[in-house]
Copies of this chain bind each other. A is one copy, B any other.
Amino acid sequence: MPETESVTEIMAMLALQLGIILFAVRFFGRMVKRVGIPQVLGELLAGVVIGPYALGGLHFPGFPQGVFPLGAGTLAVSTELYAFASIASIILLFASGLETDIGLFLRYSLAGGVIGIGGVIFSFAFGDLVGVFFIPGSTFMSPQNLFLGILCTATSVGITARILSDQKKMDSPEGVTILAAAVFDDVLGIIALAVVLGVVAVITGHGVAGADSLNGLLILAIAGKAFGIWLGFTALGLVFSKHIANFLKIFKHSYDFSILALGIALLLAGVFEKQGLAMIIGAYIAGLSLSKTEIAPVIQERIHGLYEFFVPVFFAVMGMMVNVKEIMAPPVLIFGALYTVAAILSKVIGCGGPALLLGFNGRGALRIGTGMVPRGEVALIIAGIGLASGILDQKIFGVVILMTLVTTLAAPPLLSATLRIPGTGTRKPVKGDESASTTWEFISDEIADLVVDTLLKDLKNEGFYVQMLNIDEGLSQARKDDISLSITEEESNVTIETARTDMPFVKTAVYEVILRLNDSIQKLKDSSDPRQMKKGLLDKDGRTSADLLSLVTPQCVSLDLKGETKDAIIAELVEILSVQNKLLNKEAALIDVLDREKTMSTGMQHGIALPHAKTSGVSDLAVAVGIKKEGIDFESADGEKSRVFILLLSPRKTSGPHIQFLAAIGTVLKDDDVRKALIEAQSKEKVVSLLQKGKAG
């Protein structure tokens, strides 16, 4: 434990390190994303570069051990920083569980299940066997080999989904199957991890390097127990999910119950680790349990900031654990290369094989197998667990990182190549395979977000299984029976792709969403009717500020406006300001004032009109006053003709008393005598003095 004096020192280092990590991950993430590499690899790379084995280990004045000093024990970083990475892995798996609506999913994809299972079994076996081959004296049941097996299982299809979407293949039978299999892969990976950890705990507890002293039955029993714990908690979580959600909702504020949901994940993570299973299993089950409740999307949104803060820290810390020098040794590189090849082949064979039996042809099976190749965050988390618990050494850790990097980098070109092979991937021709896509353009990103969110909610209500594939890039997929839609949100555009025959359904769904949004908007308008509000604006008791009203000058007054229409009057007032050199851009000013009128006429009661706008056409507040004794129709609030016109223009950017001026002038004009005197005024000076003196006028 650190000494008294150094607690503040430790915290200062932690703050610095976190600050540096936050910048490094975003910098590297951006760089690699530009060349089409997934952001997470950039974050990992950031960790390698700034970590203790590279830049972070350099000595600086004030940092005798470097900014990221090598931690003691098996950790390359301080336990405090590692603590942030650990909590990050809990948040990551909690969020991942929250997205997996397994109950609904099971109903729809047998093929996904079989292919997912095939991939997990083959990759586990291949990964483990590479370890048996390379690590002298080890067996299939050696802890590090079991870890090499489990590390090989977890597919991460974010990058695959992106490629499928780019090539408009997300709704192809192969695309749908890959995404379905990936969900099974997630769940199976967690179960397999539970089983392996249970077995490893017993093996290491026995003090044996291998499992030679354990017979097959005992191992089965242990595995069964671990699986039982997983199943028990998952079942309990799903059965009581409604009750848990109701309990959480006692805390009305969405931030409160969302963070408490994360609290459940933390508790379950702690309990699982205490039971010899991994924290992430508990976190995943907590997420899975809440996934089918109606608060799941709220929780996802509310913890998004936490996710964005923590998760990149996790990847960076994993990168920091990579000892580049150790990896560069030829034996490690050979080990890594073979492990990577095994990781690729195992998915191609393990997923492609079952695909062949399920109606896909060779092309289709190859596409599916290739699509399942990339490994990602879960492999990294498990590798971190292995390293921290001492089961994996730095070399094997490096091998795993290499495998993760290469599979993620290799999958996109491989998958693209298989997709370019002409012909369908299924043996039976697909009915209505012809696909269609429709794009809706909305006025802003926020509106597009709102439409997509509401649509996804509606689709869930229709019984669809909705999968968010890539939060950053706004890619979702919805499936029900043999209907499948992919929804892409790019800034303010929403594109939905589906089979030609399902387009009417999609259009009807979007139509209903827009109708509903329109309706709630209409209700807002009704509840705060601007027309009614306008009538309450003029008020005799308001404040009239002499400073403000001194802006009115005789040069900008016209006693006899010529215009007969609203637009003509406004143009005349703008012209007055233009002649007096008060405008930067006459056209811009005129357009902005007319735009404001379109929203709602500025004709008030009692013959007053206050056309106004914020515009780039002026650099300072500018006021023009015009009188037209006969009056014209200015669409005023009381239907009376308008006779006194005051035009107010304010610069758009700088802050200034725009509304204050409007309120002040309104107060002055509310006075009957002032208004009458204004209309009868014989000189411009009289007009100015009437407006400035207010009631005294």
Contact = CB atoms under 8 A, between A and B. Distances in A.
Given A26-B251, A73-B1, A533-B511, A505 B663 contact: yes
A509 B659 contact: yes
A65 interface: no
Nearest to A481: B545
A270 interface: yes
A26 B259 CA distance: 10
Interface in A614-669: 655-660, 662-664, 666-667
Contacts of A658: 461-462
B73 A655 contact: no
6 contacts: A2-B73, A7-B74, A16-B266, A80-B80, A443-B523, A508-B662
A269 B30 contact: no
Interface in A65-92: 71-75, 79-80, 82-84, 86-87, 90
B18 A502 contact: no
A629 B414 CA distance: 61
Interface in A437-461: 440-444, 447, 458, 460-461
Contacts of A388: 7-8, 11
B515 A259 contact: no
A279 B11 contact: yes
**Majority SS at the chain A contact face:** helix
A5 B520 contact: no
A514 B533 contact: yes
A267 interface: yes
Given A462-B655, A518-B599, 17 more contacts: A10-B83, A12-B273, A19-B268, A22-B263, A26-B259, A79-B80, A259-B308, A306-B309, A462-B658, A462-B660, A501-B542, A501-B543, A504-B666, A505-B659, A508-B659, A510-B533, A514-B533
Contact of A659 (B7, B512, B520): B512
A461 B75 CA distance: 52
Given A2-B79, A83-B14, A524 B443 contact: yes
A499 B539 CA distance: 13
Nearest to A520: B443
A510 B662 CA distance: 13
B538 A504 contact: yes
A681 interface: no
- Closest 4 A-B residue pairs measured CB to CB? A16-B270, A19-B266, A12-B273, A504-B542
Interface string A304-344: 11101100000000000000000000000000000000000
Nearest to A598: B519
A55 to B, nearest CB: 16
Given A389-B8, A527-B443, A657-B463, A503 B539 contact: yes
Contacts of A385: 8
A658 B516 CA distance: 15
A240 interface: no
Among A253, A302, A472, A505, the one with the most B-chain Cβ atoms within 10 Å of its Cβ is A505
Contacts of A273: 8-9, 11-12, 15
A34 interface: no
A534 B502 CA distance: 16
A356 interface: no
Interface string A373-388: 0000000000001001
A73 B3 CA distance: 6
Given A11-B273, A303-B305, A517-B524, A16 B462 contact: no
A243 interface: no
A423 interface: no
Nearest to A459: B659
Contacts of A440: 528
Contacts of A23: 260, 263, 267
Contact of A26 (B256, B442, B515): B256
A541 interface: yes
Instruction: Count copies of this chain in the complex.
Output: 2
A530 interface: yes
A232 interface: no
A537 interface: yes
Contact of A1 (B19, B72, B302): B72
Contacts of A525: 518, 521
Contacts of A499: 543
Contacts of A16: 266-267, 269-271, 274
Given A463-B656, A507-B536, A266 B18 contact: yes
A659 B262 contact: no
Contacts of A510: 533
A74 B4 contact: yes
Contacts of A442: 524, 527-528
A551 interface: no
A231 interface: no
Among A90, A258, A660, the one with the most B-chain Cβ atoms within 10 Å of its Cβ is A660
A599 B523 CA distance: 10
A255 interface: yes
A476 B176 CA distance: 51
A587 B565 CA distance: 51
Nearest to A543: B501
Contact of A264 (B19, B460, B655): B19
Interface in A218-256: 251, 253, 255-256
B655 A460 contact: yes
Contact of A541 (B260, B500, B537): B500
A7 B75 contact: yes
B539 A504 contact: yes
Interface string A471-514: 01000000000010000000000000001111111011111101
Contacts of A271: 16
Contacts of A501: 541-543
